[in-house]
Chains A and B, each alone.
Chain A
Amino acid sequence: MAKDLVKALSDLKEQEVVKIVEERLKAKEDPLKILEDARKGMEVVGKRFASSEYFIPDLVYSGEILKSVTELVKPKLTKETETKKLGKVVLGTVAGDIHDIGKDIVVFMLDVNGFEVHDLGVDVPPQKFVEKIKETGAPIVGLSGFLTLAFDSMKQTVEAIKAAGLRDKVKVMIGGGQITDEVTRYTSADAYGKDAVAGVALAKKWAGVK
């Protein structure tokens, strides 16, 4: 049974996933076990995406399936077992850039993977990132940008975080079509994720999730 859910989810069989989850809930199974299987299924999806067997629409679809699983399971969770969020992430497209497609996918994938995501939108000035980090206490920050001029904004945002005395309290990841290791060094970010799967993996690593 357990294996079925992992397989159905990783093969993107939405109806099958929903059926299995409903049956397992009816059989009074521990909802956390169901979520654990779903997580394993998502891991397989991530691997298939990384090896170019799956593509962006597959990834987004897997997220949507996971969302329906979470919604089915939610009412069965007791207060204590209620899914603890993995951690908070503050994320946005940096000042001067308004590209949002990639950022929105990362936000969505972080969200369905159990993070509490604070999406600041596009063209976000450095100070707004700083304020949100202070307000939420989020230990993870994601800076998105597609234009080359976004790299300067990323650098300035990291500097503003530093000036606010928060640099050693947060890990900063950057992402966008043209980001490289060189850009990561230039901006003084901690790392870059080349796609949404890599971004989720970084966030999990930093949140101490295996």
Chain B
Amino acid sequence: MQTKLSSPKKDVTIGDDQPTVLIGERINPTGKKKLAEALKAGDLEIVSREALAQVQAGADILDVNVGTFGVDEVALLPKAVRMVMDTVDVPLCLDSSNPEALEAALKVYKGKPLVNSVTGEEHSLKRVLPLIKEYGAVVVGLVQDDEGIPKDAERRVRIAHKIVERVEAAGIPREDLVIDCLAFAIGAEPGSGVAVMEAIRRIKAELGVNMTMGASNVSFGLPDRELLNNAFVVMAVAAGATCLIVDVAKVRPIILAADLVLGRDKRARRYIEAYRLRPKPDRQ
């Protein structure tokens, strides 16, 4: 299954015969004091800098999230989206838990964006899916529902089925849905890694949809975070995740290696090119 996104100048295709698509996560104030302060002051300069840096690091798509305490997302998200569109040409992922902010951002976006996110919760399905249909966007579906956040693979799979049904019932084609199996801090929730991998495999087999994964959170509360993140993303890709929401500069090298192993990098073009671009002392 192929999921297509676009900006005025670039198209990006997500699919399992494609290299893994990397969505830059860094425009998000959660856990970033400086960015949070800047956003509260309405200062978007740092947003533009982060956008440029991530695209230079190889991001295929950029996530834009301005949600933090003291920020009016409905007003600020479209401004931030405009700012990023003016700075780089990759497609964007409009990210907010507030549907009104998503709608405001959809109004100003040019092209076919990713929208992060809808969940299996009734209020979310009812409010967000009509927006996706109206603006012809692609939506990320988080596998949580009114009963809460799933602990095991079974519930993740069940909620994914529910979201697919509701998406199609709303007149949105299945390829315009990307499921997120929800990764949690493994240090706090020891069984979640196994549950996520099993859920990805089953959802791929049963529903065939593209899948994404926010992957930096898994190492929260643990040392050597990059090591754990790297192990996690490689396994997620091997299980069937086709795009990842990550710190691109840190994760891209290992994903290029994984893509090569999985036959998604013909003649190792991407892998070798990245090697050549690295300054000599950083080569292994």
Name A residues whose Cβ lies closer than 8 Å to a Cβ of B: 52, 55-57, 60, 98-102, 105, 122-123, 147-149, 151, 177-178, 180, 182-183, 186
Interface residues of B in 206-233 (CB under 8 A from A): 220-223
Which B residues are CB-close (under 8 A) to A147?
A: 97
Q: Could you list 10 A-B pairs, sorted by A, with CB under 8 Å?
A: A56-B185, A57-B190, A57-B221, A98-B149, A102-B188, A123-B148, A147-B97, A148-B67, A148-B68, A177-B30
Which B residues are CB-close (under 8 A) to A178?
A: 30-31, 68-69
Find out whether the CB atom of A55 lies under 8 angstroms from the CB atom of B223.
yes
**Pick from B70, B149, B221: contact of A182, CB under 8 Å:** B70
Interface residues of B in 157-191 (CB under 8 A from A): 184-185, 187-190
9 closest pairs, A vs B, by CB? Answer: A56-B221, A56-B187, A98-B148, A57-B187, A101-B188, A56-B188, A101-B189, A55-B222, A122-B148
Which A residues are CB-close (under 8 A) to B188?
A: 56-57, 60, 101-102, 105
Give the interface residue-count category, chain B.
20 to 34
Nearest Cβ on chain B to A39's Cβ, whole angstroms: 23
Task: State whether the Cβ of B144 lies closer than 8 Å to any Cβ in chain A.
Answer: yes
Please, how many angstroms separate the alpha-carbon atoms of A129 and B97 in the complex?
Answer: 25
Please, how many angstroms separate the alpha-carbon atoms of A27 and B69 in the complex?
Answer: 57
Count of chain A to chain B residue pairs whose CB atoms are closer than 8 Å in the complex: 52
The residue of chain B having its C-beta at the shortest distance from the C-beta of A180 within the complex is B69
Which A residues are CB-close (under 8 A) to B70?
A: 182
Find out whether the CB atom of B68 lies under 8 angstroms from the CB atom of A101.
no
**What is the interface of chain B mostly: helix, strand, loop, or mixed?**
loop
Which B residues are CB-close (under 8 A) to A186?
A: 69
Please, how many angstroms separate the alpha-carbon atoms of A99 and B148 in the complex?
Answer: 8
Find out whether the CB atom of B221 lies under 8 angstroms from the CB atom of A148.
no
Please, how many angstroms separate the alpha-carbon atoms of A192 and B222 in the complex?
Answer: 22
With known contacts A147-B97, A151-B69, A55–B144 Cβ distance under 8 A: no
The residue of chain B having its C-beta at the shortest distance from the C-beta of A123 within the complex is B148
Please, how many angstroms separate the alpha-carbon atoms of A148 and B67 in the complex?
Answer: 7
Which B residues are CB-close (under 8 A) to A149?
A: 97-98
Which B residues are CB-close (under 8 A) to A105?
A: 188
Find out whether the CB atom of B69 lies under 8 angstroms from the CB atom of A183.
yes
The residue of chain A having its C-beta at the shortest distance from the C-beta of B217 within the complex is A177
The residue of chain A having its C-beta at the shortest distance from the C-beta of B220 within the complex is A56
Given contacts A148-B67, A151-B69, list 15 more A-B pairs with CB under 8 A: A55-B223, A56-B187, A56-B220, A56-B221, A57-B187, A98-B148, A102-B188, A122-B148, A147-B97, A149-B98, A177-B31, A178-B69, A182-B69, A182-B70, A183-B69
Which B residues are CB-close (under 8 A) to A183?
A: 69
Nearest Cβ on chain B to A167's Cβ, whole angstroms: 23
Which A residues are CB-close (under 8 A) to B31?
A: 177-178
Which B residues are CB-close (under 8 A) to A56?
A: 185, 187-188, 220-222
